[in-house]
Structure 1
Amino acid sequence: MGSTLSVNAQNKIEKEYRIKPSQVPKEALDFIKKCPFKKKIKWYIEESQNGKSIEAKTFYQKRKYSIEFTSEGEPEDIEIKIPFSELSIDLKKTIQSSLDSIFAKSKIKKTQVQWVSDRATLISLINKKNVKAAYATNYELIVKGKKEKHSHYYELLYSNDGVLLKMLRVVNDNTDNLLY
């Protein structure tokens, strides 16, 4: 329980820009065709310290969905924006305790549930089908945190048990993209 990760965050440098569906790999387009999305899909290239990826963003059942793909079109993860209040009481307490130990003051700006698995399992999860295969459920938070008299935005990734897996300090003003 809690966090064992060093509180010295690496930097997250990210640039995102729109692309046309014609610029998207066939594998990513095929993945999206198997999803129940009715609204328009907006496609993006995301450049970060980890390289380039492709992202599909849409609304589905009153939630913002973001599906990240490798540059070859293989799915990496699915993120769904949710209110922090929807997390279980125990998970909220564990995460808040972790934030209190890292920051003098913090405010959660965005919470997303993140699914990580193979292509078929991710498609089943989106389609709300019975999933027998293994998949990871994580929670990504964008937090405005104050440390040593300075406030910055941070991206924190927690496991389903509330263990801090990753912490990145957001560099430059890309918070508009992160808060989408």
Structure 2
Amino acid sequence: MISSDLKLRPLTTDDLSAILELDQACFGGLWTMEGYQRELDSPNSELLGLFSPLSTIKLLGMGCFWSILDEAHITILAIHPQYHRQGLGQALLYALLKTACDRGLERATLEVRASNLAAISLYQKFGFKTAGRRRHYYKDNGEDALILWLSELQYPQFQQTLDNWYINVSQQLSQFSWQLIS
């Protein structure tokens, strides 16, 4: 079986149309072009994209975090619906956490819909713990958000944890004929 290459890289202004297409497919238009442009321009924002040269869909996934003091606040983790449950979310979350660690950030946090059990399971697999709840956080339906937290990104053992995650993510991707390339 032939593997399809997956490339992770920072997103740029050249990717804006693909970013908006993915946003529409995943969120129904969460952010505007101007909102994404602000993210791309901000030195405190990290926006990563997941690409495959063999896919007809240009941008398979994207993730974003804001550097706030010593914290990576993950604002987006999106995988195109056609590519769910193939390990791409794991690859993207791994990349976000590795980037946060490389930037010297000490912890990661995010909000997730209380009903989004698949996402919660993914975050828990990566060590996130529930730190609280924001009542009626989501404007579209008044749903609560869970606040998830991962600390100790700068502890010496976290590098080993990252290495283990890389191995696990690579094995998961290979089951679906994906191969992460640098």
TM-score under structure 1 length normalisation: 0.35
The structure with the greater share of residues assigned to strand is: 1
For the pair shown, the structure with the greater C-alpha radius of gyration is 1
The structure with the greater share of residues assigned to helix is: 2
TM-score under structure 2 length normalisation: 0.35
